[in-house]
Chain A
Amino acid sequence: TDVIIESSVGYFTEGPERKDDIVKAKQEGKELTKEEKQRLRKEKKQQKKSKEKKDDKPSRDSEKEKKPASAASPAPQTPTQPPAQKAPSAAPAPVPVPASETPSAADKPAKSKAELKAERRARQEAERASKGKKGDVGPQAAPGKPKAPPSELQPVVKRLPEHVQVDNPEVLKKLAKKLERQQIPLRSDYGYKVSLFSHLHQYSRKAPLTQQLGIPSTVIHPAIVRLGLQYSQGIVAGSNARSVALLHAFKQVIRDYTTPPNEELSRDLVNRLKPYISFLNQCRPLSASMGNAIKYIKKEISNIPSQCKEEEAKRKLLNCIDCYINEKIVLAAKAIAKYSIEKISDGDVILVYGCSSLVNHILCEAFEKNRKFRVIVVDSRPRLEGREALRRLVQKGINCTYVLISAVSYILPEVSKVFLGAHALLANGYVMSRVGTSQIALVAKAFNVPVLVCCETYKFCERVQTDSFVSNELDDPDDLIVTRTGTTQLEHWQEVPSLGLLNLVYDVTPPDFVDLVITDLGMIPCTSVPVVLRVKNVDQ
């Protein structure tokens, strides 16, 4: 019996082949088939985006129960099976656990994972024993995504991006479960986190997620593995660069994709992309632009008609992606440059911060159109991205000055305009950008220097944030360790119990400090961002 169950586990834990299970499951028992059928039904519902049906509650409850069941093993709920079930659940469990032990600095994360698994197993057995299908499952699914609640019918369900909650053990458990189901290793946090930001992930660059993957990885396409590594090592950085790299990787995935038999491309491909997205999210948290790009691709895929042949469908999708890149990034940059050049007059002194591909493009275009101006590049540690911007501008022949951010109040009386790039524009008009941007905007406001933010519309996000704490990204704290003349003071910072290093990536600028936002739709005030979002939603 053990042999049979293990082989069936092998089938059940592989995501794309779940549908084949139905045939095999029919031989195993009635409850299993019902479970599989319900899972299918749930997927159908999700993809048709239909409203809640009457049998949603029992199906959802059983589906919620399915999740804890499937995580360990998809064996049926009969009480006779649990001892046999422990054996197969132990089989997949040791595989990820020792893998995560090796690279991480402490043993604690691995142990807690095993603890979590034991807890989960115990809870499942308790549930199965009591056969309480309704109440118990509720709290477990409580910290779930904001999907439509069972009792209400919502015509438009806007799925806002979740806030990361690393210090909430329930949310962590759910995440671990989800990753295990998708067969993606969980990346463990590194080092002591400053208490205000303990709800965010903090990863070490020396421990990339790819070390925990087997070779060859059966679940994740190699282009995505490469992309994840490029993100986590900072080789591909910058909002536009990351989105474009993501879209190119997805194009490769689509090219190599073949529809399994008895499957529809529109549904299966979306499911295939989900583990990739989780993987990339583990390598480096997704940016707002990447989120919008993914939403677009998923929509395009699910809109492929079922009678479309595979070759044609793939060609269509590749075309869509090319169009998206062309329209939203390349042409948008040209439009923004056209509007911005009107705002650059001769004799201007323009201040830029860090390296924004869009702002650099605008300045190069303006220089080619023979505007006479000079640029002051402000830079900051530890990324020192301003040096890249400086290199690009000087190559064109633009007159540049380079300062660090500590000198910004010294240099501002000379400045006539400030051009800033943005990572995302939030729905309440706040600008999310590289850390230091809000500081520059604040000082510029104090000196009455106009601040212009340049941002394409595909970076507009539905999220609302008023401070930089709630949702941010923590970079590797080891980046802050400086070595001068061979000595570092902070080398052993982990040993000092009261010391924490904080390497924030983003911050949020209020709209009062921003005078103008230049988008591909034109020049708008910061408070018009929700109007643009509303129009975009109506268009879609």
Chain B
Amino acid sequence: MNEEELVEYFRAQMRKDPDMASAVAAIRTLLEFLKRDKGETILGLRESLKWATDCLTGEDSSVAVSSGGELFLRFISLTSLEHQDLSRCKKVMEERGELFLEKISMSRTKVAKLCHTFIKDGAKILTHSYSRVVLRVLEKAAAEKKRFSVYVTESQPDSAGRQMAEALRKLNVPVTVVLDAAVGYVLEKVDLVIVGAEGVVESGGIINKIGTYQMAVCSKAHNKPFYVVAESFKFVRLYPLNQQDVPDKFKIYCDFHLFITTFSEHSWRSCWCRVRRCSSLSALTQTT
């Protein structure tokens, strides 16, 4: 499977299900790549998988794609690969890959199940930009017959917040779109803040759409709980010391949207602890 086929397969997966996380599509692609690979050695297989991950990262430079690819590689190599026969090893790896894919496809549902209990009746929630995980959480909460209202920031430059507001209106949730600059104004009215994440870094902080950091600082100043919901494949092997330390490739991707990310200070223990509880720490992380 060469580069073009890889990228084409990936794009096809994204088109098929627009709601699917790009990392899940990437992992599906990698699994297909593994099945079609004609390598002769385990080491060669690992090298080619790494190459494939790099290709996909070039196509879609979000943090989750690279972290997902790395976690996929680690998960499938975690078993004993001491079989003499290469084809048996490959079979084992493929089985593990399918298992991994199954687990992470369920991850959003698991996150929603864990998180909706944090939303109490009558709660006013503030969220930032368009996040499918947060949307799923709010859907679940609405399905549990909870009454809550949502404030969404407009989140320029791509006005993704409006998309979120539309989706929430379809769920019959009262929603208000506010300006990015109005976060400080509106925070005294809200009870909790929930955001998604592009990536979760080793120091405990998160990488997310620009404007999240301001929201976190303000909510700390107001002593409002700040929750982050993220699937486990978004945990990335980065340790940024400050905003500048985040690699540039994660900061900008020019595809359809201009997408600038930010980095949330890790020293707010309240943020990080809640990430632990909300995110889907599936059996995957236990084995790794």
Contact = CB atoms under 8 A, between A and B. Distances in A.
B267 A450 contact: no
B267 A516 contact: no
B173 to A, nearest CB: 38
A516 B241 contact: yes
B202 A525 contact: yes
B51 interface: no
A44 interface: no
Contacts of A179: none
Interface in B230-286: 239, 241-242, 244-245, 266-267
Nearest to A452: B241
B159 interface: no
A225 B267 CA distance: 48
Nearest to B244: A345
Nearest to B238: A523
Of A452, A515, A524, most B-chain CB atoms within 10 Å: A515
Given A515-B203, A516-B203, A417 B267 contact: no
A523 B267 contact: no
A9 B245 CA distance: 70
The secondary-structure label for the interface of chain B is: loop
Contacts of A524: 202
B241 A343 contact: yes
Interface string A443-475: 000001010100000000000000000000000
Interface string A393-422: 000000000000000000000000100000
Contact of B204 (A448, A512, A523, A525): A525
Nearest to B203: A525
Contacts of A345: 244
Nearest to B242: A450
Contact of A523 (B202, B242, B244, B266): B202
A418 B267 CA distance: 18
B237 to A, nearest CB: 9
Interface residues of A, number: 12
B239 A516 contact: yes
A528 to B, nearest CB: 9
Nearest to B241: A450
Contacts of A516: 203, 239, 241
B195 to A, nearest CB: 22
Interface string B169-207: 000000000000000000000000000000000111000
B241 A515 contact: yes
B206 to A, nearest CB: 15
Contacts of B241: 343, 417, 450, 452, 515-516
Contacts of A523: 202, 239
The secondary-structure label for the interface of chain A is: mixed
Interface in A511-535: 512, 515-516, 523-525
Nearest to A450: B241
B267 A512 contact: yes
Contacts of B204: 525
B84 to A, nearest CB: 29
A144 to B, nearest CB: 40
A345 B246 CA distance: 12
A448 B202 CA distance: 19
A336 to B, nearest CB: 14
A343 B202 CA distance: 14
B240 to A, nearest CB: 9
A177 B138 CA distance: 72
Nearest to A448: B242
Interface string A305-349: 000000000000000000000000000000000000001010000
B110 to A, nearest CB: 25
A157 B44 CA distance: 46
Contacts of A525: 202-204, 266
Interface string B143-162: 00000000000000000000
Of B202, B241, B244, most A-chain CB atoms within 10 Å: B241
A388 to B, nearest CB: 28
Of B204, B239, B266, B267, most A-chain CB atoms within 10 Å: B239
Contacts of B267: 512
Nearest to B267: A512
Nearest to A515: B241
Interface in A336-389: 343, 345
A523 B245 CA distance: 14
Contacts of B202: 523-525
Interface in B120-157: none
Contacts of A417: 241
A515 B201 CA distance: 13
B200 to A, nearest CB: 13
A460 to B, nearest CB: 18
A145 B105 CA distance: 55
Contacts of A343: 241, 245
A450 B202 CA distance: 15
Nearest to B266: A525
Contacts of B266: 525
Interface string A104-146: 0000000000000000000000000000000000000000000
Contacts of B242: 448, 450
Nearest to A524: B202
A307 B267 CA distance: 56
Contacts of B245: 343
Contacts of B203: 515-516, 525
Contacts of A448: 242
B82 to A, nearest CB: 21
A365 to B, nearest CB: 19
B285 to A, nearest CB: 14
Contacts of B244: 345
A413 to B, nearest CB: 15
B166 to A, nearest CB: 39
A530 to B, nearest CB: 16
A450 B241 CA distance: 6
Given A417-B241, A512-B267, A516-B239, 17 more contacts: A343-B241, A343-B245, A345-B244, A448-B242, A450-B241, A450-B242, A452-B241, A515-B203, A515-B241, A516-B203, A523-B202, A523-B239, A524-B202, A525-B202, A525-B203, A525-B204, A525-B266
Interface of B: 202-204, 239, 241-242, 244-245, 266-267
Sort A-B residue pairs by CB-CB distance and give the 9 closest, nearest first: A450-B241, A523-B239, A525-B203, A515-B241, A450-B242, A516-B239, A516-B241, A343-B241, A523-B202
6 contacts: A452-B241, A512-B267, A516-B241, A524-B202, A525-B204, A525-B266
